[in-house]
Amino acid sequence: MGARMGSDYIKSLDSGPKEIWLGGRKITSDLSKVPEFRAMAHSMAHLFDLQQDENLIDEMTYVSPTSGERVGLSFLQPKTIEDLRKRNVMMKHWADYSGGMLGRTPDYLNSDLMAIASASEFFAKKDPRFSENVRKYYEHVRENDLVMTHTLIHPQANRSVGPGKQADPFLAARVLEKNDEGIVIRGARMLATLPLADEIMVFPSTVIRGTAEDMPYAFAFGIPVATKGLKFLCRESFSEQSSFDHPLASRFDEQDAVVIFDDVLVPWNRVFLLEDVEGANTLQEATSGIVFMSNQVTVKNIAKTEFILGVVSLISDTIGIGEFQHVQEKIAKIMWILESMKAFLRASEADAMINRWGVMTPDFTPLNSARNLFPRLYPEMREIIQQLSASGMMALPTESDMKSEIRGEIDKYYQAKNTSSEERIRLFRLAWDIAGSSFGSRQELYERFFFGDPVRMASAFYTWYDKEPYKQRVRELLHREDS
Ligand SMILES: Cc1cc2nc3c(=O)[nH]c(=O)nc-3n(C[C@H](O)[C@H](O)[C@H](O)COP(=O)(O)OP(=O)(O)OC[C@H]3O[C@@H](n4cnc5c(N)ncnc54)[C@H](O)[C@@H]3O)c2cc1C
């Protein structure tokens, strides 16, 4: 099939039977017709259509080495730095469409799967079939351009002990039995963003390390969302109907759901790792999956910071505050964040090397720095929008107000320095969707946590970083004998 059109995605999204729970309703098919999902489904469809845009097709797709069809460029297994650049251009097109507000454009997990499959030998250690399974899964997803979601974290019941020591050993998803057909999984995993997907990858956490007693919880597999016994319990929807009132929430609520495995059979050909704590602990690093995910996230964060820079610059112009020094300083801070993220990305490209699986891999040090810094910087950018907008974010007539008889007064009293009242209201409603609304709050929580607990990520970074050359330089000075 190759790179899909939006209509292909909608068709597969609407197929069933799935089990998606939203606000007490069980939805089994026709997901794109559910009011809370409709806009997101169409935003995703637009991303697929971009792949077929005649001006973009060469930047969005490449020729599959197996089928000869054009497939999505985020599946490309890079061999050169030029390949990495091409991947980044493709990912930027998708990220720009939502101003970086979609965390789960499919390139995020496509990049992970590409890296994992390129390192398929890693999975052969326990069972040679697992290596073959990973490779075939990657080709299946690539050739059919499937959308993936993923889930890594055990439910948040008692974080002071691991999954095996919870009051209920089947709280966290674990192997119930192995039989001729595959493995049966019972329990839950906490959080999968984008349940509007074709497939789910159930993988070990990139940060939390398991111990020997976590054996039944140490696995990796990929199965269709439409698998018997697999249930997604969505959070309250933040999707809004009016794109005037909520320019982001009306388009980009990608949803997050708890995943319940009600004795789900995972066929053997979809199992990648099983009862292998060491493999689970090292999977993402050993395969470079974490590097390619960090690469995609950095591209997305550049798009997001550019978008926010545009918003604050327009706010400044609109209400005439650009002359004030503290305003300039705050906007400059966003510029520094942007330039830092761009520099991290370029450094990762410039120092890329072929990894042990033969894949041209960006340098992880700058990308690892970027993925640790951004969760700390994003809340500050949100705060700057609040500080610059002030009560402007409360003076927000709705689309209905704009169509009512009070419109004349709105035009008079909502005027701005250099733009119409309507433009000003549209801009401040956008600012509210980033810095105030439920959608905006969820964005902040997403940036803080989606890659893992920032505290443990920082700790892992601290341990991983080679401090020795710098300590040695200090030691050398301390013992230097000046002539
Ligand atoms: C919007 C959003 C979308 C997400 N999407 C996905 C997704 O698609 N797939 C997925 O797998 N996950 C997803 N996540 C989950 C994400 O991986 C987790 O939020 C992250 O790993 C942190 O785990 P937790 O939320 O369970 O927090 P917890 O681990 O429960 O932490 C709660 C608090 O306790 C502290 N704490 C807990 N244990 C320790 C410890 N051992 N040492 C020090 N401090 C500790 C933490 O620092 C934190 O302050 C998403 C999260 C969010 C918010």
Does residue 169 lie within any of the structural domains?
no
- Residue predicted with more confidence, 210 or 447: 447
Does residue 361 lie within any of the structural domains?
yes
**Contact 457 CB / ligand 1 (< 6 Å):** no
Paired residues of 193 in beta bridges: 256
Question: Using an 8 Å Cβ cutoff, are 137 and 272 in contact?
Answer: yes
Label residue 358 by pLDDT band (50, 70, 90).
very high
**94, HSE (Cβ side, Cα atoms, 13 Å):** 30
* pLDDT > 70: percent of the chain: 100
Centroid of ligand 1 to alpha carbon of 394 (angstroms)? 32
Nearest to 66 by CA among 134, 130, 2, 159: 2
Does residue 409 lie within any of the structural domains?
yes
Question: Is the predicted pLDDT of residue 319 greater than 80, yes or no?
Answer: yes
Q: What is the pLDDT of residue 386?
A: 98
Question: Is the predicted pLDDT of residue 210 greater than 90, yes or no?
Answer: no
**Contact 154 CB / ligand 1 (< 6 Å):** no
Q: What is the pLDDT of residue 447?
A: 98
Q: What is the mean pLDDT of residues 281-293?
A: 97
Question: Using an 8 Å Cβ cutoff, are 103 and 176 in contact?
Answer: no
Question: Is the predicted pLDDT of residue 206 greater than 80, yes or no?
Answer: no
Q: What is the pLDDT of residue 326?
A: 98
Label residue 482 by pLDDT band (50, 70, 90).
confident
Does residue 321 lie within any of the structural domains?
yes
Question: Using an 8 Å Cβ cutoff, are 29 and 16 in contact?
Answer: yes
Q: Is 477 exposed, middle or buried (0-12, 13-18, 19+ CB in 10 A)?
A: exposed
Beta-sheet strands, E only, within 225-378: 230-234, 256-267, 271-274, 353-354, 360-361
Centroid of ligand 1 to alpha carbon of 275 (angstroms)? 23
Q: What is the mean pLDDT of residues 149-177?
A: 95
**Contact 170 CB / ligand 1 (< 6 Å):** no
Q: What is the mean pLDDT of residues 273-287?
A: 95
> Tens of pLDDT along 359-393?
999 999 999 999 999 999 999 999 999 999 999 99
> Tens of pLDDT along 46-79?
999 999 999 999 999 999 999 999 999 999 999 9
Centroid of ligand 1 to alpha carbon of 80 (angstroms)? 35
Start-to-end CA span in the chain (Å) = 74
Q: What is the pLDDT of residue 208?
A: 75
**Contact 36 CB / ligand 1 (< 6 Å):** no
**Contact 452 CB / ligand 1 (< 6 Å):** yes
Centroid of ligand 1 to alpha carbon of 357 (angstroms)? 30
Does residue 116 lie within any of the structural domains?
no
> Tens of pLDDT along 405-454?
999 999 999 999 989 999 999 999 999 999 999 999 999 999 999 999 99
Q: What is the pLDDT of residue 205?
A: 84
Question: Is the predicted pLDDT of residue 102 greater than 80, yes or no?
Answer: yes
Query: CB neighbours of 410 closer than 8 A, spacing ≥ 6?
Result: 397, 401, 402, 421, 425
Does residue 355 lie within any of the structural domains?
yes
Paired residues of 21 in beta bridges: 26, 233
Question: Using an 8 Å Cβ cutoff, are 200 and 232 in contact?
Answer: no
**Contact 340 CB / ligand 1 (< 6 Å):** no
Which domain covers residue 432, as residue numbers?
A: 286-474
Which residue has the CA at smallest separation from atom 14 of ligand 1?
Answer: 450
Does residue 217 lie within any of the structural domains?
no
360-361 and 353-354 beta bridge pairing: antiparallel
**Which H or E element spans position 175?**
strand 174-178
Centroid of ligand 1 to alpha carbon of 347 (angstroms)? 29
**Contact 235 CB / ligand 1 (< 6 Å):** no
Label residue 213 by pLDDT band (50, 70, 90).
confident
Nearest to 309 by CA among 301, 319, 298: 301
Shortest-distance atom of ligand 1 to CA 207? 21
Does residue 350 lie within any of the structural domains?
yes
Question: Is the predicted pLDDT of residue 120 greater than 90, yes or no?
Answer: yes
Report the 10 Å Cβ neighbour count for 416. 18
Mean pLDDT of all residues in the chain? 97
Q: What is the pLDDT of residue 18?
A: 98
Centroid of ligand 1 to alpha carbon of 411 (angstroms)? 46
Q: Which CATH number belongs to the domain containing residue 452 in this structure? A: 1.20.140.10
Shortest-distance atom of ligand 1 to CA 454? 47
Question: Is the predicted pLDDT of residue 91 greater than 80, yes or no?
Answer: yes
Burial pattern 426-448, b for ≥16 Cβ within 10 A else e, equals bbbbbbbbbbbbbbbebbbebbe
- How many structural domains does the chain have? 1
> Tens of pLDDT along 4-35?
999 999 999 999 999 999 999 999 999 999 99
Backbone angles phi, psi at 112, to 5 degrees: -65, -50
Q: What is the pLDDT of residue 332?
A: 98
